[in-house]
Chain A
Amino acid sequence: MPLCPNCQHHNPVGALFCQECGLQLVASEATVTQNIRTDQIRNSVAELQQVASPQRIVTTTWLTLHLLDTGHLLPLAERSEFTLGRVTENQPILPDIDLTPYQAHAHGVSRLHALLRRKSENVIVIMDLGSSNGTYLKGQRLEPHREYPLSHGDVIALGKLKIQVLFRGR
């Protein structure tokens, strides 16, 4: 029943990884990579492992970004708004989430590309921030600076960088 967002394979109920392409189909309990920016990755991981119990992370995470090309999971928590992009030198405004480690440049991600906002418990929207290569939702290019509602499992693309959004506490 669960359809793999990557290869469209129908997996049996209960599968955690796609049997065809190996994509992770569910988010796990404490995913401890709450990285906001590259340089903070190590610190935040170490901190989380020390301080936070798994349960706490689960309750504060409202969205997990699943990078389809690399299989990485980035949980978003605490704040209700995150900008996505990539960090370069001499850049006045930095994105909250730096996608450089996931080949953002090669995929055409702009420095300030898009914004994710949590409006209420189950309403999460995406907004393109006037990026050069555009933001796509289910294959449709979004008009810049307009909010579009997301649903669990949607695949968005920043340029060519495909990201699946996984809701928490559905």
Chain B
Amino acid sequence: MPDYYELLGVPRDATPEEIRKAYIALVRRLHPDRNRYPGETELFLEVQQAYEVLSDPQRRAEYDAQLPPPVQAPSPVNLSTYFSRNTLLKISETQLLYVLLELGVTAESQSRALLNVALAIDRSTSMQGEKLETVKKAIIDWMDALNAEDLYSIVAFSDRAEVIQPSTLYRHAQRTRSRIYAMQASGGTEIYQGLRAAYEEVLRGYAPERLNHVILLTDGHTYGDEQACLELAEEAAEKGILISALGLGSDWNDSFLDRLASRTGGSAHFAASAEEIVRLLNHLFQQFRQTYAEDTLFEFQIPEGVEISYIFRLHPETLPLATQSPLRLGPLLSQEPLVWLMEFRIAPQALRKDHLDVLQGKVSLTPLGSHAPLSFPLRLRFPVSGEPDPSPPPAILVKALSRLTLYRLQEQAQQQAQSGNYARATRTLHYLASHLIGQGERSLARTVLLEAERLQREGKLSEEGKKIVKYGTRALVTSNDREKGREKDAPVS
């Protein structure tokens, strides 16, 4: 008996919609009027037959019943889940539950992904002078790291965009270098212009087996076109193009760049100095090369009475994510796990039965260069009990949350300061500083305390201090346990 699922290239738990889509795509290619190779007409007929069976729920069920169990190949990717406790408590108030999910590649993967990258560089007036010169140098240095088969393009923008280097292969790079050197600063900042032009360049070179990525480099606020940028990010995400952002200096809009990046699964970074751009670009490109799958998607449903207060990607790049399904988790690297943490608020009315499915859904991804998507169904079911769960939460979760707590304190302080509650904001900053001292992060703690003083003196935080603290605490979330943990266990005397 032929395996109809394999024939259509869908998993055995595919939805009718997925089956229909796969069928239509195949039929378009294999139709006797259009196919080109011998044997494809026969294949077309088999696909027809497969669809007839699988699209009819009753015939599909009969077919499934006699289908031999699938050959269990070891999955190249593993999904692990960790819970802050194993039961929910039957109480009359809202309770919290934490879930940490970790996706890791177990298979050896040697492929080094080819790139299709566009850099969108802010050349507005504020970049004038040394800043722009350093950026130019950084980009030219970075170009040495490209492979001969990498596609890349460079766009410069202010209030309009100019394609300095249309999408091309590396071998023509000499001319690009002179064009980059010739770049001059002038005009305002309209990110949408630059983003759009860069996006179109990536789109022209788009190929599913490449890493299709726009990198935005800016030092300023954009005015009035935030919404257009976010819509563009949505469009890019649907086409499988990621956007990552590098903010330079202290005046750019961090929450906007975070949102822009998170819509597509990309990442957002802060470069305090122009020198750091080189380091960040290299870091990003190292990750690109290691990418195993780019389209990691998390689809989920939660029942009434359950609310997700936040979802935070912890690794490989820390970023607050949206709390709606479908959620793009960003690239899965072959050497490092993709880790994200969720906080659930569970209202008493959700606990009517003796168990609760806090979340149902699936995580899916397509390894680069493969056409077979991998899918991990997920159901987080918890028994509801009158007694609290005595077992302590897993260490990995507590550790992750302890680092995230610092970031959240920082966020809280900023909100309190913004709403004019200086006394509370100052107190929160002091809490944050003492935690940072406890972890041996003295210079960051000092910045926090300086900001607390400034808040009392001037009634606001400094833009620069805000970013140092935000990205400093964010970097702590990702920091490597094995390397840093040892330093920090050393006595703080």
- The residues of A with any CB-CB pair to B shorter than 8 Å are 1, 7, 12-17, 20-22, 24, 26-33, 38, 41-42, 45, 54, 58, 69-72, 100-103, 170
Given A13-B89, A13-B96, A14-B95, is A71 in contact with B493 using a C-beta cutoff of 8 Å?
Answer: no
Asked whether, in the complex, the Cβ of B392 is within 8 Å of the Cβ of A26, the reply is yes
Asked whether, in the complex, the Cβ of B405 is within 8 Å of the Cβ of A42, the reply is no
Asked whether, in the complex, the Cβ of B402 is within 8 Å of the Cβ of A14, the reply is no
Neighbour of B94 across the interface among A12, A22, A31, A41, CB < 8 A: A12
Asked whether, in the complex, the Cβ of B392 is within 8 Å of the Cβ of A13, the reply is no
B239 at the interface (CB under 8 A from A): no
Asked whether, in the complex, the Cβ of B491 is within 8 Å of the Cβ of A28, the reply is no
Q: Which residue of A lies closest to B344 (CB)?
A: A14
Bound-state Cα–Cα, A45 to B491, Å: 13
The majority secondary structure among interface residues of chain A is loop
In this complex, the member of A17, A70, A103 whose beta carbon has the largest number of chain B beta carbons within 10 angstroms is: A17
Asked whether, in the complex, the Cβ of A21 is within 8 Å of the Cβ of B431, the reply is yes
In the assembled complex, the CB of B41 is this many whole angstroms from the nearest CB of chain A, namely 60
Asked whether, in the complex, the Cβ of B492 is within 8 Å of the Cβ of A101, the reply is yes
* Residues in A whose Cβ lies below 8 Å from that of B94: 12-13
B84 at the interface (CB under 8 A from A): yes
Asked whether, in the complex, the Cβ of B345 is within 8 Å of the Cβ of A12, the reply is yes
- The residues of B with any CB-CB pair to A shorter than 8 Å are 84-85, 89, 91, 93-98, 345-346, 390-395, 397-399, 401-402, 405-406, 408-409, 428, 431-432, 434-435, 437-439, 486, 489-493
* Residues in B whose Cβ lies below 8 Å from that of A29: 391-395, 398
Asked whether, in the complex, the Cβ of A31 is within 8 Å of the Cβ of B492, the reply is no
* Residues in A whose Cβ lies below 8 Å from that of B391: 29
Neighbour of B432 across the interface among A22, A27, A45, A69, CB < 8 A: A22
A-B contact pairs, 22 of them (CB 8 A): A1-B91, A7-B431, A12-B96, A12-B345, A13-B95, A16-B84, A17-B402, A21-B409, A21-B428, A22-B408, A24-B398, A28-B392, A28-B394, A29-B392, A29-B395, A42-B489, A69-B438, A70-B434, A71-B439, A72-B438, A101-B492, A170-B390
Given A16-B398, A22-B431, is A58 in contact with B392 using a C-beta cutoff of 8 Å?
Answer: yes
Question: Which 8 residue pairs are nearest across A and B when measured between Cβ atoms?
Answer: A70-B438, A14-B96, A28-B398, A101-B491, A13-B95, A21-B431, A14-B95, A17-B405
* Residues in B whose Cβ lies below 8 Å from that of A101: 491-493
In the assembled complex, the CB of A41 is this many whole angstroms from the nearest CB of chain B, namely 6
